[in-house]
A = this chain, B = another copy of it.
Amino acid sequence: MSEETGFQTMGRASGGGEIQPIGVGMLGYAFMGKAHSNAFKKLSYMAWPPPLMPRLVAIAGRDEAAVSEAARRYGYERAVTDWHELVSDPEIELFDNGGPNNLHAEPTVLAAEAGKHVVCEKPLGRDAAESYEIWQRVEKTGVVALCAFNYRFVPANRLARMLIESGQLGEIHHFRGRYLQEWGTTDAGVWRFDKSLAGSGALGDLGAHVIDLARYLLGDEIATVSGVTATFKPGREVDDAFEAAVQFEGGTVGTIEASRFAPGRKNSFQWEINGSKGSLAFDMERMNELYISEGTSGFRTKLVSEADDPFWSWWWPHGHIIGWGDTFVHELTHVLAAIAGQDTIAPHGATFEDGYRAAEVCDAIVRSSENGRRERVEYRG
């Protein structure tokens, strides 16, 4: 489908014409598979008219009974236990990778090389090298590719980016971001604690989100990191937390942190930005709210739900808040718009280069933790 066709489809849709379908193949049916499947179904009528109409072709997973049940649940036409079947399926035009981190690279690259557009969950790869490889190989194929840093698609975060970009905050002096959860004490043998599967712990899982959002909000690159990682649970292979002081290319300084050992913090991705003309703050547990201090006036709670707030033309009367799952509705609609040629992944969606860059920062934190030095982040490409 050419971009032009996509755009015309859009035009026809509002006029009542047919919305062109796009075949979707999903890898994974657990947490992310569920979140993305919900989003594809919900955007079909909520982000109306959608740029393309998702057709849920197939879903892949290793447990045959479970993946069959998932297919039935979400309405995929078929369930497969080998993801290669998704790659070879000509009816699949968009490959969505919600599998564990060790399954990000190969399926995503092969799908792209098979000409499918790709969405890949974060972190892109398990380290910078793997992420770079994914990016480079997918880049060559020319398909549309998004690294699913969904917090860019929180309306409050999009609004924050717009305010900063417009100059309303002036020169940015500080970025402080922390992503705190509390479930690290559990001993469940989940893949997130297995280094070969996950790559890292809180760093790649939570820290990558902080890093990506920092880059997105500021439109600036992290230049140096000075940090430590920590593992609290004896015998655990991956980090439970990290702490880092950071400098951005543009002179902003701050801290980035993440932990799975913060009791009372469920999914608390908080950030604060101080500029010469004002400040912004946010907490994902209250994701509909953006805290804005115009100059030194004190923070006001803006409930980001007005008709002209980002993404809100699709939703409810103002004040009727949306949820975490809805960030994926925004994100995958954005992908469809990019495929349809109505938009581009950058700057609002995370490209695979963005995914790679976040990985470089993560790696630099690991190096800094190991060698005790402030590490300059060197970006390739």
Give the residues in chain B near A287, CB-CB below 8 Å. Answer: 321
Give the residues in chain B near A34, CB-CB below 8 Å. Answer: 316
Number of interface residues, chain A, beta carbon within 8 A? 94
Give the residues in chain B near A48, CB-CB below 8 Å. Answer: 73
Which residue of A37, A185, A251 has the most chain B CB atoms within 10 A of its CB atom? A185
Contact of A226 among B176, B182, B372 (CB under 8 A): B372
Give the residues in chain B near A302, CB-CB below 8 Å. Answer: 297-298
Cβ < 8 Å to B, chain A residues 139-192 = 171, 173-174, 176, 178, 180-183, 185
Q: How far is the CB of A247 from chain B (nearest CB, A)?
A: 6
Complex alpha-carbon distance, A320 and B295, angstroms: 19
Give the residues in chain B near A259, CB-CB below 8 Å. Answer: 173-174, 274
Q: Are A325 and B316 also in contact (CB < 8 A) when A176-B257, A275-B263, A368-B226 are?
A: yes
Q: How far is the CB of A91 from chain B (nearest CB, A)?
A: 21
Could you say which of A81-89, A103-111, A278-286 contacts chain B?
A278-286
Complex alpha-carbon distance, A34 and B181, angstroms: 34
Which residue of A34, A182, A227, A262 has the most chain B CB atoms within 10 A of its CB atom? A262
Q: How far is the CB of A149 from chain B (nearest CB, A)?
A: 15
Q: Interface 1/0s, chain A 276-306, versus B by CB < 8 A?
A: 1111000001111000110111111111010
> A262–B285 contact, CB under 8 A?
no
> B228–A245 contact, CB under 8 A?
yes
Copies of this chain, tallied across the complex: 4
Which applies to chain A's interface (DSSP): helix, strand, loop or mixed?
mixed
For residue A35, CB closer than 8 A to chain B, the reply is: yes
Q: Are A185 and B373 also in contact (CB < 8 A) when A31-B317, A241-B253 are?
A: no
Give the residues in chain B near A320, CB-CB below 8 Å. Answer: 267, 323-325
Complex alpha-carbon distance, A285 and B299, angstroms: 13
Complex alpha-carbon distance, A372 and B46, angstroms: 47
Give the residues in chain B near A300, CB-CB below 8 Å. Answer: 292-293, 297-301
Give the residues in chain B near A241, CB-CB below 8 Å. Answer: 173-174, 253
> A279–B296 contact, CB under 8 A?
no
What 9 A-B pairs come out closest when comparing CB atoms?
Answer: A266-B319, A264-B293, A267-B319, A300-B300, A323-B323, A226-B226, A372-B374, A322-B323, A320-B324
* 20 additional A-B residue pairs with CB within 8 Å, beyond A45-B75, A255-B255: A16-B72, A31-B316, A174-B261, A226-B228, A226-B244, A226-B368, A227-B245, A255-B257, A262-B274, A263-B279, A263-B293, A263-B295, A264-B299, A265-B319, A267-B321, A285-B288, A298-B300, A300-B300, A316-B324, A321-B324
